[in-house]
Homo-oligomer: A and B are copies of this chain.
Amino acid sequence: MLERPTDRRIIRTKRLIRDALTELMEEKGFEVITVRDLTEKADINRGTFYLHYRDKFDLLDQCEDEIINEIQKLTHKIDPKDALKFDGQKEPFPFIVYLFEYLHENSSFMKVVLGPKGDASFQVKLKELIRRTFFQNILSKLKQEEMLVPVDFLIAYVSSAHLGVIQHWLESGMEKSPREMALILSRITLLGPRHVTGLTSKEL
């Protein structure tokens, strides 16, 4: 995609700006950040910022797109037969494990961008990626006429639920491992929210 910026100054400057962005988003939220804030925090000249980004929105976009691209790459590791064999009780869906591992490695930025002071449009982008992955690996095998609910709402339900659990995990300190989290998600999704409460059909 992008020609590589070999020059170490560029890499350094971009890193400083992006680190400043993460810190400032956590401190005060993206909306009230100024380019001046960013360059002061990064300790670079304000003009330098404009050598790399058009404005603060361009900065956020580039950060987000990079993340989406890297997560997209994780989907290439999926083995098609995984979708079929797993029962969700012992083995989670592998992509979800990779996803949590990636989130953990980039937790400081992911936490703010998916948090209350974050960016609604990034949530949509990530949800859409989850949606596509689910569809390609699982839902495409289903027959529309056998569904008890419209498929688009089911997809919205499951992908939003996954994103929501991710957000809660990030907010609450990421105490459980990626594998544990993926297992929790596959259990709820496959057994159903009510079933995992321990209730039988009669009780509710």
Contacts and interface: CB of A to CB of B under 8 A. Distances in A.
Contact of A194 (B121, B150, B190): B190
Copies of this protein in the complex: 2
Give the bracket for the number of chain A residues in contact with chain B: 35 or more
Contact of A196 (B31, B143, B147, B187): B147
Nearest to A188: B157
Given A120-B119, A164-B161, A194-B190, A184 B146 contact: no
Interface stretch (A11-19, A72-80, A165-173): A165-173
A146 B197 contact: yes
Interface of A: 30-32, 57, 84, 87, 115-121, 123-124, 127, 139, 142-143, 146-150, 152-154, 156-161, 163-165, 167-169, 172, 176, 181, 184-185, 187-199, 204
A124 B57 CA distance: 22
